[in-house]
Chains A and B, each alone.
Chain A
Amino acid sequence: MEPLGDKARVFNSRNTRLMREKIMGGQVHKQLLYPLITIAVVFGVWQLAANHYNSEFMMPSPCKTMVTFASVVHDPEVIKNLLITLKRVLTGFFYALLIGVPLGFLMGYSKTAMRLFDPLIDSLRQIPIMAWVPLTIVWFGLGDGPTIFLITFSGVFPIIINTVAGVQNISRDYYNAARSMGGGSWSIFTKIIVPASLPDILIGSRVAVGLGWMSVI
């Protein structure tokens, strides 16, 4: 069994402190100012490119794009489709959690489970998502089915891998401490394994939702 460290790092950035600062925030004005600078620079470059091409078809100017965007957002048809997509992403993500988290717990805790599932998961993981498209259409027909399957499929691996890493990273001392205080298997699972690996599961979920949006198309 190979250590999971490297694989997990591909998906999770492990900068939980950065995340916390991002969420809690210390200085509000800095939080607003810096993103605004980025946006301004991007718009500037965009405008320059638009001037260069001088063609609305090749490269529309940022102003024009914003105006069109505003009108499109009010269109009920667009909102309806947006909601449909949102529903698909959430359904797919839900299934990914449903499969990924238990499997991750199992593989993180038991070496036997790891040996059983790791080869399968590692090989499935490598298949490009687009290669599944024709097959899933054959399997599920042309409805929501293929999309949801693909969203689940792309999201399940980061969830599994991060959950496994989360469980494997739990210090032996915590298990020993719990057992020397009379903790049984169920108590160790609910009071130690779940809370200790929760941050990693959340990181995996974040990646999964992101990948889900990307596989919508």
Chain B
Amino acid sequence: MELKVESISKKFKNDSSFQTVLKDLDFTVREGQFVTLLGPSGCGKTTLLTIIAGFQAASGGRVLINGCQVTRPGPDRGFVFQNYALFPWMTVRDNILYPMKQRKVPGKEREKRLEELLGMAQLEGKEKLFPHQLSGGMKQRVAFIRALAGKPEVLLMDEPLGAVDMQMRQSLQDDLEVLWLKDKTTVVMVTHDVDEAIYLSDRVIVMSAQEGKIVEDLPVRLPRPRDRKGMEYHKHKERLAEALRIAMGKRPESPEAKRQLCLA
């Protein structure tokens, strides 16, 4: 599996003028990589993700999956929505079976995969519940395994933890990491949270508020599960925070200047 983003541009038309959100973006994601797109709000990271998903068309450039150009949504790219978008009129079971039914997976195999996925997400016994009867964390896990059920080549996640508070967020990040380690699908995730980006990903791409330009492409090679208090972790965090500051169009603040401020 290889996901290739080739000089993607996106312009939106406002009444008379054009607004360029993305301009000539290039990067390649390799098999099994967990890549995070990080950036200030309005930098076009979600737009880029929906272009990869095929929900909207790019104004220029193309997205290739295993050399095939993306033109519309397809089961080769699973998508986890910010608000989960679980179908409220279906039970957990039917929600998870939906992608498999669409891909015409035979009944027996379907049941087996369902069991496997429920076990993976520790949701056994919950399959008869409706989404509104689940807690936020359970919904998130259902959304995750539903997106995996059709065995996509790549999983796209749009701020999957955007709607939860800080403490909940950290424990859900653990859940997400555990789930991902069991499956090792290629992931492209969008977030605006530096900590989340380092904790989860193998590689962080920082996008600028100006036309989505890539200001930093940082590999994270820390052993998992990651120690949030470790020295290396902290270094990565500072580097990304710096990159984010540049991305927002602010003057970079050097560690030197910061230290001087502390002393003064």
Contacts and interface: CB of A to CB of B under 8 A. Distances in A.
Interface string A174-187: 10111111111001
Interface string B120-149: 000000000000000000000000001101
B102 A181 contact: yes
Given A176-B53, A187-B102, A191-B98, A181 B75 contact: yes
Contact of A179 (B72, B83, B89, B146): B72
Interface centre among A177, A179, A183 (most CB of B within 10 A): A177
Question: Which label, helix, strand, loop or mixed, suits the secondary structure of the B interface?
Answer: loop
A182 B103 contact: yes
B72 A195 contact: no
Given A180-B78, A183-B98, A173 B72 contact: no
B87 A174 contact: yes
A180 B102 contact: no
Interface in A91-123: none
Q: How large is the interface on A (under 10, 10 to 19, 20 to 34, 35 or more residues)?
A: 10 to 19
B40 interface: no
B162 interface: no
A13 to B, nearest CB: 21
Nearest to B56: A176
Interface string B62-102: 00000000001111011101010101011000000011001
Contacts of A191: 87, 90, 98
Nearest to B77: A180
B150 interface: yes
Nearest to A192: B87
B74 A174 contact: no
A177 B79 contact: yes
Interface string A147-180: 0000000000000000000000001011011111
Interface in A57-108: none
Interface residues of B, number: 24
Question: Which label, helix, strand, loop or mixed, suits the secondary structure of the A interface?
Answer: helix
A167 to B, nearest CB: 14
B55 interface: yes
A58 to B, nearest CB: 54
A180 B72 CA distance: 9
Nearest to A196: B89
Contacts of A173: 81, 83, 85
Given A187-B102, A191-B98, A180 B87 contact: no
Given A180-B54, A191-B90, 14 more contacts: A171-B85, A177-B79, A177-B85, A180-B75, A181-B75, A181-B98, A181-B147, A181-B150, A182-B75, A182-B102, A182-B150, A183-B102, A195-B89, A196-B89
Interface of B: 53-55, 72-75, 77-79, 81, 83, 85, 87, 89-90, 98-99, 102-103, 146-147, 149-150
10 contacts: A174-B87, A176-B53, A176-B73, A180-B55, A180-B74, A181-B75, A181-B150, A182-B75, A191-B87, A191-B98
